[in-house]
Every structure is written in structure tokens, then in C-alpha cells.
Amino acid sequence: MKPIETVDKCTTCSTCVAYCPVTKATRAFKGPKLTGPSSERFRLFDETGGGEISEIEALDYCSNCKNCDIACPSGVKISTLNMLARADYCRRHKPPLRDWVLGHGHALGKLARKFPGWLVGMASTNPLTRLVLDAFGVDRRAPMPVFVPQSFTEWLAAHNAALSPAERAKLTKKAVFFPGCYVNDYDPETGKDLVFLLEKTGYEVVTPEFQCCGLPMVANGFFDDAKAAASKNVDSLTGLVASGDVPVLTVCPSCQLMLKQEYAEYFPELDGHAALVPHVQDACEFVAGLLESGELDIDVREDAAKLVYHAPCHLRAQGIGKPGLDLLRMASANVEDARSGCCGISGSYGFKKEKYDVAASVGADLFKAVKDSGAEYCVTECGTCRLQISHHTGVPSMHPLSWLRKLVK
Ligand code: SF4
Ligand code: SF4
């Protein structure tokens, strides 16, 4: 069913309002019922697309966290309606340059790698740079990630080229890994940990010629750029899986949500997407399956370190449970589920000057739960959740696969 067709399923029960973390945090946001289905009825009959009627300033506070969609008992696609309305508005009213930059991190990563790593690192963390960025609309308190000098895809190409004939002969199966911008440009270690585990099971790991999944572009109002990126991703991924039963794995819940579900909602005209969907899988879910079936045979050492797990909103929106938590429990990790909702960052939302305090307020319950747990590490699948949680709690964080990799003897 098209998102627009779900509007009339709204029974105005207000469940979404009760579950929207931004509604609780700020009066600047009018809430999912009003900005979603209620405003959509005006938008449907307004020649301007209803952008003005829906008051873009209020709509702009939707972080696209999807907690409203998870809670709605009628299946109304509230967050998608909000994003489509924002896209329509942003076609008529150009978003600020700051939003273009935050929505196109992948392009900036490519540019950053043309400069020496030390220079990029220094420029990213320098207080003067942060002041300049603050004036540009990126809050100077926000936990910005730093571009790495060698991207994950560059590392993987060198790694695969260096495999000896004997090592290569052991890799009899193929897995496609969609690293997404976060792993590729800021956090290649998580990708390397997945490669380590998959190679132990006999998988050769390949990455597609990939673009950003498009979610940061959608969230920042650059819908047509997101569509172009989605089209290229679908083309390159369908080419790689055409040979048969090849999994397409992601470690980022937001990339996964786009590839599995949101491309169809935002860009129903994309050719080939439906055939790709059955291949896309959460990497933790895949590795847990390998452990369960005995295909992945690893000895893990006991580690008494206490962990606290956070389930990212975009993982919960997929209805696949918490495979990262299951995986850690299979490895006998000492892990507690934080069960405390959204961290507030929502990709680049919490970096914005006017949203930093809202994002901090949204995540307050989670930060308290992480601190109260007394855990040494927080584990969660989403890279920007990790940034936000560590920033507000001082507790270091990592991907569940990285913790599993650490436990392998
Ligand atoms: S996506 Fe999140 S912020 Fe936006 S309306 Fe839904 S619950 Fe609220
Ligand atoms: S939860 Fe669903 S049905 Fe209830 S008000 Fe929100 S959109 Fe309407």
C-alpha cells in the first residue's frame, strides 16, 4: 500500500503522539498525528502541496526516528508522509547549505581523502573549526565523527588482493557487504570485524560500487539526490546478487531499512528493487544464524566486562527483534538491555544547532539507563547512536560484531 493510501486508516487515537520522543522534548513540534495524517488531508487538496499549511518549521522537527510508525495500531506511514511532505516543500524552498553538507557526508568523505589524514583529523576536531561550523549551524557541542584516511572499500580491495592462493581457496561462498557511509568513511573497523567473521566461515566478502543509502538526503530535504543514489545502489546490488543465493549484509540499521523497506515507499518506480529485498539481511542476524547452524566455528573466551545494549529505532522499525543482543547472548557476554528508547541523534538531526538540545532531551532516559547500568561498554548497531551515547555518558561504545570479534580466541 502506498504511504498516501494509509492516511484514511488513521483513527485519531493519538498513540503515535504518546510514543513520539520529539513531541515530549519540545513544543516546537506539533506531533506525528498533526504533521502526518491530519496535515496530509490538507496537502492532498492544496495546489502548493500544502507545505505552507503544514508549517514546515514544525514538520522540520520530525527526526524520522519512526517510533510513530512502530506504535501506530492502524499502520499509517506517518514518518514517510512527513518525509514526502518535507521533500515537496524543499523542492520549492531550497534548504540551507548546512543541510546539504549534512545530507551528503559520503561526497565529503571522498573529498576529505584527497587531503592528508592528519590535516583532516586536526581540522575536524580543532576548536576554531568547531566555532566556524557552529556559525554555519552545526552545534559546536555535537559529537562529530572524523573521516578516516583509508575508506573501508579501499581497505577491502587491498585485503582481498593480498589473500594468498591457499586463503582464497578456502573462500568458497560469496557475501555482499553494503558498508554505508558511516563504516566506509568513519568506522572501517566494524566492517573489518565482519569480514574477519565471514572469512572464518568461508565467505569471500565483496562490496558494491555504492552510494549513500539516501536516508541522510531524505531527512535533510534532498529527495531527488536520494532517488538517484537509490537507483545506482539497486542497479549495482542486483548485478551482484543475480548469480543466486547471495546475501547482502549491512551493519547499519538505517541503510538496512532503506534497502529493505523504504526504497519501495519513497521510490516505488525503482526497477529491480523487489528482487533485491529478499537478499538484504542484518549482519548480526546472519552471523547469529551461522553460529547457530555450526557453520561459524569459533572459540570465544569468557569476558566478565559488563555491557549495556541499545536497540536503534531504525532496527526496531524493521520488526526483526534484536539480533545484535541475541548474538552477544549466544557468545555468553554479560549484557543488559537498556530498553530506554531513542538516543535522539537520528543521523545528523542532533548535530544541528537548533536541534542539539532537543536531541539531548530525547536521549536523556537512555543516557541515564546506560550510566545507571554501570556497564563498561555500550553496544549498539548504529554508528551515530554510538557517537551520541558515548558523548552524553562518557561510556565507550561499539558494534555487537566488534565485541564478538574481541571475544574470539
Ligand atoms: S518519526 Fe519520530 S520524530 Fe517524527 S513524528 Fe514519528 S516519532 Fe515523532
Ligand atoms: S497512531 Fe496511527 S491511527 Fe492513531 S493517531 Fe497516530 S496515525 Fe492516527
**One domain, residues 347 and 285:** no
Q: What is the CA radius of gyration of the chain?
A: 21
**One domain, residues 201 and 276:** yes
20 lines ligand 1 (CB under 6 A): yes
Per-position pLDDT tens, the chain of length 409? 888 889 999 999 999 999 999 999 998 898 999 888 888 877 666 655 554 555 566 688 999 999 999 999 999 999 999 999 889 888 888 899 999 999 998 888 888 787 777 777 777 778 888 899 899 999 999 998 888 989 999 999 999 999 999 999 999 999 999 999 999 999 999 999 999 999 999 999 999 999 999 999 999 999 999 999 999 999 999 988 887 889 999 999 999 999 999 999 999 999 899 999 999 999 999 999 999 999 998 888 888 899 999 999 999 999 999 999 999 999 999 999 999 999 999 999 999 999 999 999 999 999 999 999 999 999 999 999 999 999 999 999 999 999 999 998 8
Q: Which three cell numbers stand for residue 267?
A: 521510490
Of the residues 289, 312, 335, the one at which a domain ends: 289
Per DSSP, what are the bridge partners of residue 335?
307
**One domain, residues 310 and 389:** yes
> What's the total number of domains in the chain?
3
Per DSSP, what are the bridge partners of residue 398?
379
79 lines ligand 1 (CB under 6 A): yes
32 lines ligand 1 (CB under 6 A): yes
**One domain, residues 20 and 62:** yes
Query: Would you say residue 312 lies in a domain?
Result: yes
Question: Which atom of ligand 1 is found nearest the CA of 313?
Answer: 2
Q: Which three cell numbers stand for residue 63?
A: 527526526
**One domain, residues 235 and 335:** no
**One domain, residues 323 and 390:** yes
Backbone torsions φ then ψ of 14, nearest 5 degrees: 75, 10
Per DSSP, what are the bridge partners of residue 250?
282
Query: Would you say residue 52 lies in a domain?
Result: yes
Distances (CA, A) of 175 to 13, 119, 221, 278, 283: 44, 35, 33, 14, 10
Burial class (CB in 10 A: 0-12, 13-18, 19+), 408: middle
Q: How far is CA 192 from the centre of its chain?
A: 18
Q: What is the DSSP annotation of 22-79?
A: HHHH-TTS--HHIIIIIHHHHHHT-TTTTTTTT-HHHHTT-----HHHHH-TT---HH
**One domain, residues 280 and 321:** no
Question: Which atom of ligand 1 is found nearest the CA of 64?
Answer: 1
Q: How far is CA 369 from the centre of its chain?
A: 22
Q: Give the domain CATH number at 236.
A: 3.40.50
Domain of 375 in residue numbering reads as 298-407
Q: What is the DSSP annotation of 210-233?
A: ----SHHHHHTT-HHHHHHHHHHH
Q: What is the DSSP annotation of 140-196?
A: TTS------SS-HHHHHHHHHHT--HHHHHH--EEEEE--HHIIIII-HHHHHHHHH
**One domain, residues 169 and 282:** yes
- Cα(341) to centroid of ligand 1, in Å? 12
- Single-letter amino acid code for the residue at 377: Y
- Cα(171) to centroid of ligand 1, in Å? 43
